[in-house]
Amino acid sequence: MFFNRKHKRTPFVQLDTRKCKACWKCIKDCTNKVIGKVDFAHHKHALILQPDACTGCLNCISVCQYNAYSVADAPKQKTENVKMKTFNNFLINNLLLLSGLLIIFSGLALQLGFHMGGHGEHQSGTRGMQFESIQYEQFRGIDTNKIVCGLNYSGWATTHKFFIVIFSLLMIYHTYVHWKWYKGVITKHLIHKNKQVIILSVLFLLVAVTGIIPWFIDLSGSTSIFRMLFIEIHDKITFVLIVFFILHIIKRIKWYSNTYAKLKK
């Protein structure tokens, strides 16, 4: 009978006999005589003698310094916590996907929707290189008065920046949640096996930095050559990032479908 499951739990508490050190404090503090003992020479631990007599005072949990006792619904609580964590990951990943697609769409709208021609077609020679006196839109050949899908250039630029901020905040949270994974990949020298994710992370950082710097330069009112340089680098790296972003999503389609199936249960 000592191995019967009912002698390890009551409706309120459960007992892990492997953690029990046979100090018998729980027996002394149990007012309803619910707990008994196995007291053989080489085999000693507490056990639940009368599970139905337990009233849930939880004195056994309080006095046990070895954590042999725990609340009976702990496994259920653990399951709920795991489900909530899964839901949070699923939600964040979907928001990352949505904001990432909106960044790509708004970026392509800026890249393809407003260009009138090649860079610098309105200027030539040495005069065309005087970045301080040339408007950025003129140099890049951008028609700022054009309307694409109901928005002008300024509207699309604002939209693009807005979703970059949202995506960046979500990415910071995503990295924070998976920091142990990143740390493990580096410390265990597993970069080669996870190179696609690492490259995607590095590309994101480069795109973020090369996008934020010209934004701050613009806010300062400057038309420095460095702003133009960072924007050009930002545009080129973004196309590479899009490729790796799509590959990353394709690789995780199975995770999306399996997680969605689990959450539906």
Residue ranges covered by each domain of the chain: 5-72, 77-264
Percent of the chain with pLDDT over 70: 81
Task: Select from 139, 89, 82, 83 the least CA-distant residue to 115.
Answer: 139
Q: Residue 130 has what pLDDT? A: 42
Classify 77-264 by CATH class: mainly alpha
CA dist., res. 34 & res. 202, Å (int):
59
Q: How far is CA 195 from CA 56, 111, 171, 180, 186, in A?
A: 53, 29, 18, 17, 11
Banded pLDDT at 143 (limits 50, 70, 90): low
Pick the more confident residue, 101 or 222: 101
Q: Which residues share a beta bridge with 163? A: none
Q: Residue 124 has what pLDDT? A: 40
The overall average pLDDT reported for the chain is 79
pLDDT at 131 over 60: no
Amino acid making up residue 172: I
Q: Which residues share a beta bridge with 13? A: 71
CA dist., res. 226 & res. 217, Å (int):
9
Average pLDDT for 61-88: 78
Pick the more confident residue, 121 or 103: 103
Task: Select from 79, 85, 90 the least CA-distant residue to 257.
Answer: 90
- Encoded tokens for 127: 């005069």
- Encoded tokens for 195: 């190179």
Model-level pTM? 0.56
CA dist., res. 27 & res. 60, Å (int):
8
Residue 226 CB neighbours (<10 A):
12
Q: In this predicted model, what pLDDT tens digit does every residue of 15-51 receive, in sequence order? A: 998 999 999 999 998 888 899 998 888 889 999 988 8
- Residue with token string 């959450």: 263
Pick the CATH number of 5-72 from 2.102.10.10, 3.10.20.310, 3.30.70.20, 1.10.10.10: 3.30.70.20
